[in-house]
Chain A
Amino acid sequence: MKLNLYKENDIQNEHVDVYYSNMRPLIRQLVDTVNSDRPSLSGRPADEDLDDGEEILLDPKDIYYLDHIDRKLFAYTKNGVYRLMNTLSACEEMLWNYGFVRVSKSNLINIYRIKQLKPDLNMKVFASFDNGERICINRSYKKSFNEYLLKMRGIN
């Protein structure tokens, strides 16, 4: 898809024109992104069989958590796992206001998607999600996690 960007310093009304032949998911996502006030992340399916080379825009509210494994960043959603080209710290900075909080060196979780927070008998605290996955909340991040929750309750 050809993309034209025009910068005009004295423009009064910023706008986006989209020319399309059919409303493909990518176009739909572009429209949703322009209409929405939240940032979006682009990624490709982690499963190579499902990867048709086209990037998919992910709405942060659909993401359960981000996982950094072997220098690669993955986003886990209800519909599957996507590989993102951002860094975890860039995502943390971008998404801190949208419910994403760092709970370990390699995980950023979406608090709006947490089904339950529960400690194990060995005292490790886990956040469970609808997809059945569990992410451990590291002790080092416990304090900042609690502060984040208090702050988000204040904002909401």
Chain B
Amino acid sequence: MREKIGSFLIELCCVYTIISVAGAIVNIICKTETNNLNVIVMFITCLAATFVLFLHKLFDNVSPLVMIIAQFLIACAVVGLILLIISVTISPISPKGWFEFYRSFVIPYIVFAAFYYYRIFSETKKQDELIRQIQEKAGEKAE
């Protein structure tokens, strides 16, 4: 269990670092600024999304496509709940704020899912080539 928590925290740190650096770059390019609340929301979102993605072992028996869609829907629901709590308790979120938030959540998710899809195909192709090499070498040996 301690190992799993450690692994989860490492993944969370990596995800948050990538997202915050990417956010800083976007802010520099677009000449926009963020505030403390946005930083905390970003961290909570990373925490929720990483936790949902970390549950991939539970989806071992289904296809990766179903896993990606199921995890996406769960992540959307968890993030929506967090936003609702923030909207009610800290600061109201306008409909445009909801839309912007989900847009900035969905786009990276789709990009990474597409990358994952590409990786599966390229890795499988490499493994297939490896198998061909092993079979050819074994055939040469037998001859």
Q: Which residue of B lies closest to A124 (CB)?
A: B63
B64 lies within 8 A of A123 (CB):
yes
A124 lies within 8 A of B64 (CB):
yes
B66 lies within 8 A of A153 (CB):
no
User: In whole Å, how far is A47's beta carbon from the nearest beta carbon of chain B?
Assistant: 29
Residues of B within 8 A of A124 (CB): 63-64
Residue of B65, B127, B141 most packed against chain A (CB within 10 A): B127
Q: What's the tally of chain B residues with a CB closer than 8 Å to chain A?
A: 23
| Cβ of B57 under 8 Å from chain A | yes
User: In whole Å, how far is B49's beta carbon from the nearest beta carbon of chain A?
Assistant: 19
Q: How large is the interface on A (under 10, 10 to 19, 20 to 34, 35 or more residues)?
A: 20 to 34
Q: Contacts A122-B64, A124-B63, A125-B124 hold; do A112 and B138 have CB atoms under 8 A apart?
A: yes
User: In whole Å, how far is B59's beta carbon from the nearest beta carbon of chain A?
Assistant: 9
Chain A residues in the interface with B (C-beta under 8 A):
99, 111-112, 114, 116-125, 138-140, 142, 145-146, 149-150, 152-153, 156
Chain B residues in the interface with A (C-beta under 8 A):
56-57, 60, 63-66, 68, 117, 120-121, 123-124, 127-128, 130-131, 133-135, 137-138, 141
